Structure 1
Amino acid sequence: MLFSDKKELLGLYNATGKTNYTDPELLEINTLENAIYMAMHNDISFIIDSRLSLYEHQSTYSPNLPLRYLMYIADLYSVLTRKENLYGHKTVMIPVPFFVIFYNGEEQLPDRVLLPLSDLFKTPKSFLNNEEYKELYPALELKALLLNINPGHNQELMNSCKTLKDYSEYTARVRQYAKVMNLEDAVERAITECIAEGILSDFLEKNRAEAKSVSIYEYDQERHLRQEREEAREEGEKIGREAGIRAFVIDHIEEGMPPEKSILKLQKLFSLTNEEAKSYYEEYSQTNC
């Protein structure tokens, strides 16, 4: 919503690319409204000075952004060259792509992270060891630049684009207040404070109701994804821990160690109560039998 305005988008582009364009009408916005991949669509894409920029905003880090960008750029080039003869002798010139991710999630990341598509390739060693094909690797590459826009990061960029800095401050306040009050009240407080302090004030005054509903929805989604990841991590740790306990019990049985001694060691090694250690020992000793 913020950067659908050409003037704001040009300001973001100038800050990101360290350029100084002044005419917003130079921007040719070509965002793929109907290109859907894995329930996601690209946020903003536009051309200026033969440069095709694709911007994504992410509150959750994902190493798969280069793959999604590959899908987007293929569709965009298809649209841009639909009237060209791709089978002819004349070279079809295309704008240079530039891929940027604006990240403001809670996972701690550095100011800048380069995400190459080639990091996702399942490359067999036989291919890399073949001198004939080494020069072809990677035969396809795409590099996306992740910029951390949380407060305290990329100060030069933030100082060059007040709207981006204000957005960062607004979302940080929503997160901060949501820790001590219900989400709706947290968003309302953040909006009220930001308007009073000149942070996104014009935008929030004009779009208060919509900004509030979107903020609540987005934060809920972000929190839901975070909880899912935490549950998956805990489940993985539980499975790994139980596998370790099982291997410990089986090894000690095979070595002929007395049950009492095994249970005592099991209790200390895995920080279990005596009852828990006995239960695990009995369960896995029967499985081994």
Structure 2
Amino acid sequence: MDSRLKFSTERKMIPSPEFYVIYNGSRNYPPQKILRLSDSFIDKKAGSEVPLELNVKVFNIKHPECTLDFSSCQPLDNYVKFISLVEEEKSSGASDFMTRAVLKAQKQNLLPDYLRRKASEVISMVFNEYDYETDIQVKTEEAERRGHAAGARNARIETARTLIKMNVLTLSQIAQASGLSEEEIMKLK
């Protein structure tokens, strides 16, 4: 055995990770739920062992029955309080509710470092709220545009190849007919 390759038989122990999602949306969502990665697997066989699993605890902080106590984790506790301020200001009907919530949070010393660095981004987020359906629609439209552009380019290339095979037109005529540059046509020959 090569002396440079040494394997330790000693077991290394690492802390058990825990994953959380803090839900603060407006949809009807339970106070607590566990999401499993394996629930998204396509070819999962019933009753079989899953080779990789991830459990994520989701807490709906807006649900009255959510009993999660964040007091032992100051950043999360501050975040929950900040979200309450945002909701309070939003319900007031003021158009600048996010600015007002950020100012109140700064006065209450909630998320001080984060809001000092990112206040303008936080305020602008209200105008860019993530919406899954809109996100999917935009990505689909982008994919269609890329697909159409690729299809049009492929059509121009096929036209140029056909004209090259016919061997009756000049290079500039093929370029004009196909919409490709003369350099691109030279690469096709």
2:9 aligns with: 90
Q: Does 2:94 align with 1:181?
A: yes
Q: Structure 1 residue 115: deviation in Å?
A: 1.0
In structure 2, the CA distance between the partners of 1:160 and 1:93, relative to structure 1 (3 Å rule), is closer
2:143 aligns with: none
Which segments of 5 or more consecutive residues in structure 1 lack a partner in the other structure? Answer: 1-84, 129-133, 233-289
Offset from partner CA, 1:149-185 (integer Å, 9 cap, x none): 3374534513544553342232233245346233xx2
Equivalent residue runs for 1:95-244 within 5 Å: 95=14, 96-123=16-43, 127-128=45-46, 136-150=48-62, 152=64, 154-161=66-73, 163-178=75-90, 180-182=93-95, 185-196=96-107, 198=108, 200=110, 203-204=111-112, 210-222=117-129, 224-225=130-131, 228=134
In structure 2, the CA distance between the partners of 1:112 and 1:151, relative to structure 1 (3 Å rule), is closer
2:162 aligns with: none
Aligned-pair RMSD on alpha carbons? 3.7
Taking the aligned partners of 2:18 and 2:75, their CA distance within structure 1 comes to: 21
Q: Which has the larger radius of gyration?
A: 2
Q: TM-score, normalised by structure 2?
A: 0.51
Taking the aligned partners of 2:63 and 2:100, their CA distance within structure 1 comes to: 19
Identity %: 21
Q: Structure 1 residue 119: deviation in Å?
A: 0.7
Q: TM-score, normalised by structure 1?
A: 0.36
Taking the aligned partners of 1:119 and 1:192, their CA distance within structure 2 comes to: 41
Q: What is the identity, as a one-letter code, of the residue corresponding to 1:219?
A: V
Taking the aligned partners of 2:73 and 2:114, their CA distance within structure 1 comes to: 20
Q: What is the identity, as a one-letter code, of the residue corresponding to 1:228?
A: T
Which segments of 5 or more consecutive residues in structure 2 lack a partner in the other structure? Answer: 139-189
Contact 2:86 / 2:101 at 8 angstroms: preserved in 1?
Answer: yes
Taking the aligned partners of 2:29 and 2:127, their CA distance within structure 1 comes to: 22
